[in-house]
């Protein structure tokens, strides 16, 4: 194998596929990047067997030659060193030559790296995916959906299904749900598809896969192709394939958890409320429970307090935009509220309580696409 490649494109693609590679894999060949040179260009693959990422650098793009293939072939090179090497090479072009025994030479200007490669025949094949169930979402919307749900997945392995985000599709609408059983985040979005009656309801994507995907998607209004099979999901954008395994098991039904009435409704300015809870938790940051006490006062004012024995007490008063309904005293995990307030895309939120012992809802006032549900904490 021998080719000459544009360094910037190579660096960019190597960084993408490296995101799938784990140094803790039990399959040695997966510590490497697979590099294939053929008539289409150079294709890079990285995988940890849960996530696989494939990146193509075409021979030519927008009239500019990116790759010159001198001899077709393939090789696997250690990912750990490779990303840093290509980034630091001195010239705009890099030549890669593979000789006998997978001995590989990387040359750029007066810099020469001789690397021991691995046998590309040992590298596992990527899943073959039938493109039957295909739909599309804008890149930037996809990044937003991920940001607004993944934070709420469980990090505990006791219920593995909760470490993923549940995706449901019905009537050309995607509903994404994440919960760790103390808080729940739901985000809805319209999808584009040519398939009549496209419906899924038990697709569960590992949170980690979505986080990595989000880092790779461009932040623009281009369309991302999404293909779902029984145990894999594939995201396709220009020159890039991102495969993730799906989680096994049934995602819990969450629809009936959401209260359909409320006793106290409070409208708050998002940023001011976030900062007040952040201050309330300042003294308890080593604590495990992050309990904040919330109380309605006269004249549309709410009071937040937090007590850490030995250290002290914080009291915050906040003017609400509007406060309707019954008086209320409730305690909750302030950290969970902070997580939600940080990703709400709205200057104002509405919180709906149905009593001190019941889950409560938090919603942006200017969108019905997002919803957060929290369990209260018993403090007595």
Residue 348, number of CB atoms within 10 A of its CB: 16
316 is an interface residue for its own copies by CB under 8 A: yes
318 is an interface residue for its own copies by CB under 8 A: yes
282 is an interface residue for its own copies by CB under 8 A: yes
90 is an interface residue for its own copies by CB under 8 A: yes
- Segment near its own copies (CB under 8 A); pick from 88-96, 138-146, 223-231, 337-345: 88-96
Count of residues touching its own copies (by CB under 8 A): 29
Of these, 22, 68, 78, 232, which contacts its own copies (CB under 8 A)? 78
Of these, 84, 91, 92, 122, which contacts its own copies (CB under 8 A)? 84
Closer residue to its own copies (CB): 111 or 181:
111
- Segment near its own copies (CB under 8 A); pick from 111-119, 128-136, 210-218, 289-297: 111-119
Of these, 38, 140, 180, 278, which contacts its own copies (CB under 8 A)? 278
- Segment near its own copies (CB under 8 A); pick from 112-120, 203-211, 224-232, 248-256: 112-120
Contact 361, 254 (CB under 8 A): no
315 is an interface residue for its own copies by CB under 8 A: yes
Question: Least distance (Å) from its own copies to the CB of residue 293?
Answer: 14
* C-alpha 195: how far from chain center: 26
Contact 240, 54 (CB under 8 A): yes
At 140 the three-state DSSP class reads helix
Closer residue to its own copies (CB): 58 or 272:
272
Closer residue to its own copies (CB): 76 or 318:
318
User: Long-range contacts of range 298-304, CB-CB < 8 Å, 24 or more positions apart?
Assistant: 302/266, 302/268, 304/276, 304/277, 304/280
Of these, 27, 49, 65, 112, which contacts its own copies (CB under 8 A)? 112
Pairing outcome for strands 232-237 and 240-245: antiparallel
| Residue 237 backbone zone (phi > 0: left; psi -120 to 50: alpha; other: beta) | beta
The rounded distance, in Å, linking the Cα atoms of 105 and 282 is: 54
Contact 56, 14 (CB under 8 A): no
250 is an interface residue for its own copies by CB under 8 A: no
Of these, 23, 26, 101, 110, which contacts its own copies (CB under 8 A)? 110
Would you say how long the chain is, in residues? 380
What sign does the dihedral 216-238-235-373 (CA atoms) show?
positive
Contact 240, 16 (CB under 8 A): yes
99 is an interface residue for its own copies by CB under 8 A: no
Question: Least distance (Å) from its own copies to the CB of residue 37?
Answer: 20
Contact 247, 163 (CB under 8 A): yes
Point out which residues pair with 29 in neighbouring strands: none
Of these, 29, 126, 223, 283, which contacts its own copies (CB under 8 A)? 283
253 is an interface residue for its own copies by CB under 8 A: no
Point out which residues pair with 196 in neighbouring strands: none
What is the contact mask toward its own copies in residues 37 to 76, using x (rule: CB under 8 A)? ----------------------------------------
81 is an interface residue for its own copies by CB under 8 A: yes
Report the Cα–Cα distance between both ends of the chain, in Å, rounded.
71
According to CB under 8 A, which residues from 113 to 172 bind its own copies? Answer: 113-116
Contact 344, 228 (CB under 8 A): no
Site of interaction with its own copies (CB under 8 A): 78, 81, 84-85, 88-90, 110-116, 275-276, 278-279, 282-283, 310-318
């Amino acid at each position: 194998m021998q080719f000459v490649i544009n360094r910037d494109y190579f660096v960019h693609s190597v960084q993408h596929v490296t995101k799938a590679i784990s140094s803790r894999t039990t399959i040695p060949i997966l510590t490497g990047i697979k590099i294939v040179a053929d008539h289409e260009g150079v294709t890079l693959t990285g995988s940890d067997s849960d996530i696989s990422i494939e990146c193509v650098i075409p021979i030519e793009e927008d009239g500019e030659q990116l790759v010159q293939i001198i001899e077709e072939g393939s090789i696997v090179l250690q990912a750990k060193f490779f990303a840093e090497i290509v980034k630091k090479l001195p010239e705009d072009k890099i030549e890669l030559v593979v000789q006998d025994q997978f001995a590989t030479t990387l040359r750029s200007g007066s810099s020469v790296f001789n690397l021991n490669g691995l046998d590309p025949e040992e590298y596992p094949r990527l899943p073959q995916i039938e493109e039957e169930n295909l739909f599309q979402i804008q890149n930037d919307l996809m990044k937003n959906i991920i940001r607004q749900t993944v934070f709420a997945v469980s990090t505990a392995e006791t219920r593995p299904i909760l470490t993923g985000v549940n995706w449901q599709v019905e009537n050309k609408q995607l509903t994404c749900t994440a919960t760790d059983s103390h808080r729940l985040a739901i985000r809805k979005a319209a999808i584009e598809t040519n398939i009549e009656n496209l419906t899924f309801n038990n697709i569960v994507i590992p949170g980690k896969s979505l986080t990595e995907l989000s880092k790779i998607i461009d932040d623009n209004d281009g369309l991302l192709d999404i293909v779902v099979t029984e145990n894999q999901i594939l995201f396709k954008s220009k020159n890039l394939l991102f495969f993730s395994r799906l989680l096994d098991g049934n995602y819990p039904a969450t629809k009936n958890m959401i209260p359909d009435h409320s006793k106290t409704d409070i409208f708050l300015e998002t940023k001011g409320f976030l900062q007040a809870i952040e201050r309330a938790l300042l003294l308890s940051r080593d604590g495990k429970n992050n309990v904040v006490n919330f109380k309605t006062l006269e004249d549309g004012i709410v009071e937040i307090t937090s007590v850490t024995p030995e250290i002290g007490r914080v009291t915050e008063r906040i003017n609400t935009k509007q406060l309707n309904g019954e008086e209320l005293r409730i305690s909750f995990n302030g950290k969970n509220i902070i997580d939600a307030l940080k990703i709400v895309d709205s200057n104002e939120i509405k919180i709906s309580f149905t009593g001190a012992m019941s889950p409560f809802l938090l919603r942006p006032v200017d969108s019905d696409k997002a919803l957060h549900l929290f369990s209260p904490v018993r403090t007595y």
